[in-house]
Structure 1
Amino acid sequence: MTSKPLLYTQKWLVSFQKEIAGALFLYPDTGEVICEYRKRYGMSQEEFGELMELRRESISRIETGSVTPTFDFARKFINAMALIEAIRVERAQHKEIDVYFLDNLAKELGFSREKLTFMVKVAVESYDKKLVKIQKSLKEIKI
C-alpha cells in the first residue's frame, strides 16, 4: 500500500499524530483521551462538535464512553489535534504565522479554510493563555 507523500506534514507532526493514535487505540478509555485533548486546547463540547461536524450531544456520548467513535472520527480527530498543535508551534516560533504553510497543511490533512480559521483561533487563544500562565508562574518564583 503506497500513500501519496506528505509535502507539508513535518516529521515531528507525524510523530505527534502517532502519539495521539496510540493513546486513542491503546488506552482503555478512548472518550477520556478525546476529552483531555479537547480541554487541552480550551474547546467547549459545542465548539469541538462544530469542528468535528457533530452535535454537542454526540461529543458528550463519545467522551463519556456511551458511544465508540468511528475510525473516520478518530482519523479526523488525530488530524485536527495535529493541525492545532502545528499552529501553536508556528505561533511559538514566529511572530507572524505562515498562513500559506498552514493553508496547505490544512488541505493535506483534509480541512477547509473555514475549519482552519476556527482552528487558528483555538490554537492561538490556547497558546496565549498557556504563555500568560507560565509568565505569571515565573514572576511568582522568588530566586
Structure 2
Amino acid sequence: MRSLFLTVVYLLIIALGFQASYVWMLGYVWVDIFTPQLVAYSLLPSIPVSMILAVFVLFGLLRLPKDPDVVARSVTVLTVLLGAWMSLTLLWAEVPDAAFAKWNWAIKSVLFSCCVPYFLRNRIHIEAFLWTLVLSGIAHCLPFGAKVLISGGGMACLLAW
C-alpha cells in the first residue's frame, strides 16, 4: 500500500509539473531528501526517480517565461565555480574511486542549486519550497526518532554491566 501511495504521489508530481514547472523542482527536492525509492517496495526502487525528475526540471527550466529581472547573480556564478573546483580537485584525489562516489552526488546538488532561483519567482513558490524541505526532512527523520523513543537508540546493542 505504501509503494502504491508513493508511486501515485510521484506520478502526480510529474503530471502537475506540466501545469506549473516549479512543481518538478519541488518534486526533485522531495525525491532527494525523502528518498521514496528506499521506502517503497515494488515499483519505485526499480526506476531512476531522481534522474527522471532532473530531466523534467531541465525541461521545465527551458519552459519558464523569460524574465528580465532573473539574471545570473554573483551567488550563482560562485556556485558554478565551486562545481568546477570540485571537478578539478577530483583529478588529484588520493582515493579516486571514493572521491568519485562523493563527487557524483555532490556535483548534482551543487548544480541543481543553481537552477532553484529561476523557479522561485514569488512568495508562494518560496513557501512551497520551504514546506517541501521541512516536510521531506521530517518524513525522512520521523522513523528514526520513533525508534530512538521506543528502544532508546544504541543500534540495538545491550550494555552488560
TM exceeding 0.5: no
